[in-house]
Structure 1
Amino acid sequence: MDYAKEALRYHAEWNGKLETVPKMPIQNRDDLSIAYTPGVAAPCLEIQKDPKLSYTYTGRGHTIAVISDGSAILGLGNIGPEAGMPVMEGKCVLFKALSGLDAIPLCLNTQDTDELVHIISSLEPSFGGINLEDIAAPRCFEVEKRLQEKMQIPVFHDDQHGTAIVVSSAIVNALRLVKKENPNIVINGAGSAGCAIARLLLDLELGNVILVDKQGILEKNMELTSGQRALIDRLNIHHRTGTLSDALKNADVFIGVSAGHIVSKEMIQSMNEKAIVFAMANPIPEIGPEDAKEAGAYVVGTGRSDHPNQINNLLAFPGIFKGALDAQATKINDEMKKAAVFAIASLISEEELSPDNIIVSALDPRVVPAVSKAVQQAAKDSGVIRKWDR
């Protein structure tokens, strides 16, 4: 199938992938008077007296805002807010289809950090959570941090943390399979996803991490982004220097969130035995799965659905938001992210584990309930449950 051609045809036919469907009939005067004036004044006044009732009398508690500034849309780059809308609509469709949560796509016509923080934080009374999407690094780090400090609902940049959670789940299972502890892990691509993956792997104590970008192996004396600078003291404990090729010598794990065709067979051959290779650049991986295996990689994963071990954010964000909203959490903290990692990993049993099966399918119906339950419990255990004092 020519997906590009079919997508254009269907998007034109649908004229958008979302619609608003009322839950109540409007067929007579009584219906109108209950759904709108004068009856609607009653829930308004109850919410005024007790703000937590906004979660009872409105759809806020099951509604997410999916927000982008159009600066880093998929692999397309800074194509602008209008051009980013099909992606945001698609994300909203996935929320509804997989978790039952409602989601509203919002593409903002600004890439100014202060404006983004002001606009998004002002939306708090209308939503139960904020999913930041396709905002370029390093702006995404500051926007998310400031919103988390300012808002009392979960704010989650999926390109960072969703990717990190699913990659970490796959690493947990791959390391179970190859029976390695404290591996040397090389991440190529030090933007929002690469930094978040590095941080979560380090927090989970899954191995030693080297972060590489176009400058080479990141070091303190380089020009670093705020996200890279926050990690640099925890990276590269053996003080390696050089290029990606140098970093991969005697490495156990390669994680690519960068660009296609930048890893050669020779580079894979320089890795340790039973190497784990996650080449996740889309649509063209850093190295083709077949080439990686021919070069000796034992476990290979990609971001694509036409190869085994697809590493897809879809495994994370629906269940994470459902668990957070069901718990009425005020944030998505590190404990909740870690809980999601192990919930996803646990869905592959010891008997099912194999080089071509280290991560569950994103469409497996067990995923959202398992992740949601784990995240909800972690929110309660870590005390980030909404406390109403007004």
Structure 2
Amino acid sequence: MTNNAKSRKEEALLYHSEGRPGKIEVIPTKPYSTQKDLSLAYSPGVAEPCLAIEHNPDDAYRYTAKGNLVAVISNGTAVLGLGDIGAAAGKPVMEGKGLLFKTFADIDVFDIEVDTKDTERFIETVKNISVTFGGINLEDIKAPECFEIEERLKEELSIPVMHDDQHGTAIISSAALLNALEVAGKKIGEVQVVVNGAGAAAVSCAKLYIALGVKPENLVMCDSKGVITTRRKNLTPVKAGFATDRGIETLEEALAGADVFLGLSVADVLTQEMVRSMAANPIVFALANPDPEISYDNAMAAREDIIFATGRSDYPNQVNNVLGFPYIFRGALDVRATKINEAMKIGAVLALAELAKQPVPDIVAAAYNDNDITFGRKYLIPKALDPRLISCISVAVAKAAIESGVARKTITDWKAYAQELESRMGRDDKLMRAVRSKVCTAAPRRIVFSEGDRLTTIKAAVHLANENIAEPILVGNRAKIETLLRDNHLHLDAKHIVDFQHDDEAERRNRYAALLYGKVSRKGVRMHEAVDYMMRRDWFTLMMVAAGDADTSILGYTHRYNEALKPVRQIFTQGDTTLATMEIVTTKKGPMFFADTAVNPSPSVDDLVHIALMAARTVRNFGIEPVIGMLSHSNFGTDTEPLASKIAKAVEILHYRYPELLVDGEMKADIALNKKARSEFYPFNKLGDRDINVLIFPNLSSANISYKMMEILGGAEINGPILMGLDRSCVHLIPEVAGTRAIRNLSVLAAAETISSK
């Protein structure tokens, strides 16, 4: 095992074990703090909904979580690329599936691992517990048993059942196929299709392709023995359904003149010669994971006219099941569908295909650092982080369920339903995922860490390097860093370590000192002081950026943020530059931005104006339109004491100088965050029915207290602080006690800022 593989293994195990083990938990959704609450939640109050459900079983959807609860069920016989590892060993995957359901579609999940390979016992178990759930997602069950299990459960249960391993890939690849055919100028009823692989996913893909218009006689399926033909003996019923009577035996023969190749098999089975033998504008979906049937580079070299997709995120056209299953179940649950039928799957296919043809939102372009995402050979299906997926696919699935007669609940106002879908998403890190994706698609940024010999920093640096997010540079004692790496089974190349006080770095220190003196000689710093500063890790770190040896830096500080800012101001600012910090507070409503949280104890009117403008500019860099509330203990002049008047004056200046900026105040937090009350009591406000996403606080204490209370009491995730006001992104400061995740996330934000500022 390589050092990087060991590092990834340790990181993965730590991720799953650190803090509360596993990836999901159950959280109460009703008050429980008083005796009255508890008496309603359990005895005696709970008897009333029990009796109501006894009288009308459908009331379970009204009084319990059933309508938003999906079971992810497996027996562990076909887990990812690991095979038959058993039910217990498959549990991390099922928990992961639950995390994706919740993150992408706000669907609650119980993962259930059934320890049996007996088909009848498995089916009976699922049937017996099905009354608990609104839907069932079968997962990682081997073929051919998975076919019978799904069919039986679909027939015998009255809730949606889907084996995602089969249908997820089928739905996503079908959308890609429709769009690829459009790009190639081919008709689905005329194309020759070759499917390599005869497992659950391949069979489901073939069936859905035929349902969409591929002629059965034009589809050839291959397995490990070659073409599945009528001449072969002992075929399973499933394979026999795809047997061809053509006089061909091998994959190579089948591909000659073919229009489409779908691979759900093994790596490197497809050669360049085979691709060259295909028809013009060949469509090649090489979906084996992690390594496709033909590498991207080899496929591109084989044909200039190729239309190519894989299951990988590092190449165009990723066929990723997360584009489908969360939103398909969301739509099915919301209309209380009795099943997921062909009409619903085709509805999802058509919606996905159509979405890829629509203009891409700025936030998606920013997430992938690509302003040229347009429908074509390299963009056949939407990106996984596209926020429109939930409304687009779920609406299509819900409509298809109603129209095909399997819905028990009708939706008439589709616009309202789409808005509900967009607003229902709970706390997650969509913004950070989008920022991370943007960074991953750009050249790795050089990030230098002043506290390079702290274990939390080292762990963050290893992650950044392994994921190709950044080129970390650890400033600190080399021997100490190497010891920490070795003792914690981590690996980082020697080039990532700078022992700034070692004799080997004397020339660099002298060069930095001369550069520093040129910058600050008129700020009272003498040459010998500049030389002394280069023996201090904070000054040395900042000069690495100033000298162009790093793109940005993460500076650790102990007690006072403003004290740590002194060298930053000396090196990177002139005059009385206003600086401020902003925290990203991830809430149930989405990301909120709090400023100023660390720099200005009692900002002046001009400071508040600058803070609002800096916050607006930073938020726009995330692809989000800022809607700013200037907070106070007063609402639009209800109190004229100096603090409230200061906020009012800042708003007046902003309205006069920047009329296009969506900002208003002064206002209390409850009015700022309740647009209905704001519009009712203060209809003249400039923000109308928009949700505020940026909060500017009247002083440092209120801002600092607020975001920390949101974190501890509200369960919000905090990312930051983002330092604002410098001409370029050269430094961010973080407490020395910060954990690995906080350091890693701030590093990602810092890297993203260097991309935006170029």
Same fold (TM over 0.5): yes
Name the residue aligned to 2:230: 220
1:183 equivalent in alignment to 2:188: no
1:378 equivalent in alignment to 2:400: yes
Name the residue aligned to 1:288: 295
Aligned residue identity for 1:380: I
Name the residue aligned to 2:351: 343
Partner Cα distance (2:291, 2:381) in 1: 20
- 4, 9, 16: which one pairs with 2:14? 9
- SS at the partner of 1:123? helix
Aligned-residue RMSD, C-alpha: 1.5
Structure 2: gaps of 5 or more residues: 360-373, 410-758
Identity %: 47
Aligned residue identity for 2:311: G
Alignment map for 1:143-158 (pairs within 5 Å): 143-158=149-164
Structure 1: gaps of 5 or more residues: none
- 316, 334, 337: which one pairs with 1:308? 316
1:96 equivalent in alignment to 2:106: no
TM-score (norm 2): 0.49
- Residue by residue over 1:205-225, the C-alpha shift from the partner in whole angstroms, topping out at 9 and shown as x without a partner, is 045211110121112343322
Q: Tell me if structure 2 keeps the 8 A contact 1:169–1:359.
A: yes
Q: 1:113 to 1:270 in 2, by over 3 A?
A: same
- Residue by residue over 1:232-259, the C-alpha shift from the partner in whole angstroms, topping out at 9 and shown as x without a partner, is 2xx64x7242111111111111110001
Partner Cα distance (2:236, 2:140) in 1: 17
Give, in angstroms, the shift of residue 314 of structure 1.
0.7
Partner Cα distance (2:247, 2:375) in 1: 33
- Residue by residue over 1:317-362, the C-alpha shift from the partner in whole angstroms, topping out at 9 and shown as x without a partner, is 0111011111111001111111010000011117822211111112
Q: What is the aligned length? A: 383
Q: Tell me if structure 2 keeps the 8 A contact 1:138–1:226.
A: no
- Residue by residue over 1:38-76, the C-alpha shift from the partner in whole angstroms, topping out at 9 and shown as x without a partner, is 000000000000000000000000000000110000011
- 347, 371, 390: which one pairs with 1:368? 390
Name the residue aligned to 1:272: 279
Give, in angstroms, the shift of residue 3 of structure 1.
4.5
Give, in angstroms, the shift of residue 127 of structure 1.
0.0
Name the residue aligned to 2:379: 357
Give, in angstroms, the shift of residue 23 of structure 1.
1.1
1:58 equivalent in alignment to 2:69: no
Partner Cα distance (1:227, 1:53) in 2: 40
Q: Tell me if structure 2 keeps the 8 A contact 1:315–1:368.
A: no
- Residue by residue over 1:176-214, the C-alpha shift from the partner in whole angstroms, topping out at 9 and shown as x without a partner, is 101112211111001101100000000110452111101
Partner Cα distance (1:114, 1:137) in 2: 15
Partner Cα distance (2:210, 2:324) in 1: 19
- Residue by residue over 1:103-126, the C-alpha shift from the partner in whole angstroms, topping out at 9 and shown as x without a partner, is 111111001000011000111210
- SS at the partner of 2:284? strand
- Residue by residue over 1:122-164, the C-alpha shift from the partner in whole angstroms, topping out at 9 and shown as x without a partner, is 1121000000001000000000011111101011000111110
Q: 1:339 to 1:386 in 2, by over 3 A?
A: same
Give, in angstroms, the shift of residue 27 of structure 1.
1.9
Partner Cα distance (1:79, 1:10) in 2: 21
Partner Cα distance (1:343, 1:225) in 2: 34
Name the residue aligned to 1:324: 332
Q: 1:87 to 1:266 in 2, by over 3 A?
A: same
Alignment map for 1:45-194 (pairs within 5 Å): 45-181=51-187, 182-194=190-202
Partner Cα distance (2:237, 2:72) in 1: 24
Give, in angstroms, the shift of residue 310 of structure 1.
0.3
- Residue by residue over 1:76-96, the C-alpha shift from the partner in whole angstroms, topping out at 9 and shown as x without a partner, is 100111111111000000000
Q: 1:347 to 1:240 in 2, by over 3 A?
A: farther
Give, in angstroms, the shift of residue 34 of structure 1.
0.4
Partner Cα distance (2:358, 2:120) in 1: 48
Give, in angstroms, the shift of residue 10 of structure 1.
0.6
Partner Cα distance (1:368, 1:215) in 2: 41
Partner Cα distance (1:376, 1:287) in 2: 37
Name the residue aligned to 1:242: 249
Partner Cα distance (1:220, 1:4) in 2: 46
Q: Tell me if structure 2 keeps the 8 A contact 1:156–1:332.
A: yes
Q: Tell me if structure 2 keeps the 8 A contact 1:95–1:102.
A: yes
Q: 1:20 to 1:353 in 2, by over 3 A?
A: same
- Residue by residue over 1:289-327, the C-alpha shift from the partner in whole angstroms, topping out at 9 and shown as x without a partner, is 110111115111110111110001111101110111111
Partner Cα distance (2:87, 2:384) in 1: 27
Alignment map for 1:189-200 (pairs within 5 Å): 189-200=197-208
